[in-house]
Amino acid sequence: MNEIIPLVKVAVYPGSFDPITLGHLNIIRRASRIFDRVYVCVMVNSSKRSLFTLEERMDFIRRAACRFPNVEVEHSEKLLVEYAKEKNADVIIRGLRAVSDFESEFQMAMTNSKIEPKIETMFLAAGDAYTYLSSSVVKEMAKYGADLGKFVPWEIIDDIEQKIKNRG
């Protein structure tokens, strides 16, 4: 008798997450409902200067996403599609906040599909409450002592405020 083996759908959600925002967490939550396994991968972006270390960013994501049992947090310095292939991912998740994000994200998706046609890119539009939100906005608000409760997961607010204070 042939045993039916269920397919496991795997996605990778890459980003710099400097720091993770409620918008990122919204995408993670939604992706975790669609896929059996979601790898949130902190990627190295040579064009960005990070405020938080790689270890801090991974810790922030782990603490904020621990409520999703099918989400794993990793990092990679490899080409995204190479990392996705290693994880047997079917899909790369990209969040879109506004139409302005689409052009660069689409270009990246087309490039990735030329390198690895078997891996799809899925765009998830940010929830209404997060269309304006970015890590850069969070860092700017933190500099001025704004209440970060509407921007980032509560688990990491103290860490962000402490980092900004220490950079003083």
- Which positions are catalytic? 24, 48, 97, 135
> What is the dihedral angle through the alpha carbons of 138, 143, 145, 149, rounded to the nearest 10 degrees?
10
Q: How far apart are CA 55 and CA 62, in angstroms?
A: 10
Strands 71-76 and 37-43: parallel
Q: How far apart are CA 120 and CA 93, in angstroms?
A: 9
**Residues 6+ away with beta carbon under 8 Å from 65:** 25, 28, 40, 71, 73
- Residue 142's φ and ψ, nearest 5 degrees, are -65, -35
**Beta-ladder partners of 127:** none
